[in-house]
Amino acid sequence: DAGVIQSPRHEVTEMGQEVTLRCKPISGHDYLFWYRQTMMRGLELLIYFNNNVPIDDSGMPEDRFSAKMPNASFSTLKIQPSEPRDSAVYFCASRLAGQGNNEQFFGPGTRLTVL
Amino acid sequence: SQQGEEDPQALSIQEGENATMNCSYKTSINNLQWYRQNSGRGLVHLILIRSNEREKHSGRLRVTLDTSKKSSSLLITASRAADTASYFCAPHGGSNYKLTFGKGTLLTVNP
C-alpha cells in the first residue's frame, strides 16, 4: 500500500489567494483527519470524516477554511482567502474503524507558506 | 478527546544512552498512544497501551502507564542517532476517534 498521499508537498502563495490541499487516504480506511502543525500551537485537529461524512469540524479556525470528502478515496482542504497566519504544515491521516490499536496513519504533509 | 502534555520539551543525549519522556493527562482514558515524528515527515505510530495495562514493550521501547497519576512514560533504550525525532503522546477516552496531540518532546541523539 502506498500509504496516505498528500499533494502538493509544498505550496507558496500570496495572501488572498485560494489554496486547495489534497489527500488520498489508505484504501479501505473509513476515517480521515485533517491536522495543522505550527511551532506556536503544535498539532491541531481541524476536522475529521467518517465514511465521507464530516463528524467534527470544531477545530476549523474560521469560515475561510472548508473541507470536503466527495468519495472514499479523496478529500480536500480549502482556504479562501489565505492569510499569512495560515502558514503551517497540514497533515492528513486515515484509520480503519475497529482496529484494536486505534492507530492513525499520517501522510507526509503539505507545507504551506502564505506571503 | 483530551490532550496529553509531554515533558521535557527537549532532551539531548549521547548515542547509547537511554531516553525517557513523560506524558500527563487530565481525565480517564481507554488507551494511550505514542507517536514519533521525524523532521519534515508525518507522525508514525509507535505503541499503544491500554488502561488496564501497566507496562508494554516493543523492541527498544518500553511504555508505562499509571492511571492513578494520569501519566505515562516512554523509555527508549540504547538510543541511536536515528531516534532523533519529536515524540508525542495521545491519550484517548470516549467513543469517538479523535486524537489530540501535545507539542511533543524533541529528542536529539548525538553520535
Q: Cα(A105)–Cα(B42) distance, rounded to whole angstroms?
A: 9
Rounded Cα distance between A61 and B20, Å, is 34
Residue A11 has pLDDT above 80, yes or no: yes
Q: How many residues does chain B have?
A: 111
Of A31, A45, A109, the CB nearest to B42: A109
- Pick from A86-90, B2-6, B85-89: least confident: B2-6
Q: Which residues of A touch B9 (CB under 8 A)?
A: none
Q: Can you tell me whether residue A70 is helix, strand or coil?
A: strand
Cβ contact, residue pair A103, B43, below 8 Å: no
Q: Is residue A25 very low, low, confident or very high in pLDDT (cuts 50, 70, 90)?
A: very high
B97/A106 touch (CB, cutoff 8 Å), yes or no = no
Residues A101, B30: contact at Cβ < 8 Å?
no
pLDDT band at A100, cuts 50/70/90? low
Kindly report the average pLDDT of chain A as a whole number.
94
Task: Search chain A and give the residue with CA nearest B6.
Answer: A42
Q: Which residue of B has its CA nearest to A104?
A: B45
pLDDT value, residue A1: 64
Identity of the amino acid at A8? P
* Record: contact A42-B102, CB cut-off 8 A: yes
DSSP-assigned letter for residue B10:
E
Cβ distance A75 to A43 under 8 Å? no
Specify the pLDDT at position A55: 94
Residues contacting residue A27 through CB under 8 Å, at least 6 positions apart: A1, A73
A-B contacts at Cβ under 8 angstroms: 53
- Helix and strand counts by DSSP (H, E) for chain B: 0, 10
> Which residues on chain B place their C-beta less than 8 Å from a C-beta of chain A?
31, 33, 40-45, 48, 88, 92, 96-104
Beta carbons of A106 and B42 less than 8 Å apart: yes
Percent of chain B whose predicted confidence (pLDDT) is above 90: 81
Phi then psi for A86, rounded to 5 degrees?
Answer: -85, -5
Instruction: Give pLDDT, residue A101.
Output: 67
pLDDT at B29 over 70: yes
pLDDT tens column, A52-80: 999 999 999 889 999 999 999 999 999 99
**Region class of B51: left (phi > 0), else alpha (psi between -120 and 50), else beta:** alpha
The per-residue DSSP string of A5-57 comes to EEE-SEEEE-TT--EEEEEEPPTT--EEEEEEEETTTEEEEEEEEETTEEEE-
CB contact under 8 A, B45 and A105: yes
pLDDT of B1 > 90? The answer is no
* Mean pLDDT over the full length of chain B: 93
The pLDDT of B56-82, averaged and rounded, is 97
Instruction: With CB atoms and an 8 Å threshold, state whether A45 touches B98.
Output: yes
- pLDDT score of B94: 75
Q: Which three cell numbers stand for residue A13?
A: 502563495
For residue A67, the tally of other CB atoms under 10 A from its CB is: 20
Q: What is the C-alpha separation between B85 and B88, in angstroms, rounded? A: 10
SS3 content of chain A, % helix, strand, coil (to 5): 5, 55, 45
Residue B11 · residue B107 · CB < 8 Å: yes
**Average pLDDT in the A110-115 region?**
98
- Position A99 scores a pLDDT of 63
Q: Is the confidence at residue B64, as pLDDT, over 70?
A: yes
Residue A17's pLDDT is what?
97
Compute the average pLDDT of residues A1-20.
95
Q: State the average pLDDT over residues B96-105.
A: 86
Strands B10-14 and B43-50, sheet pairing: unpaired
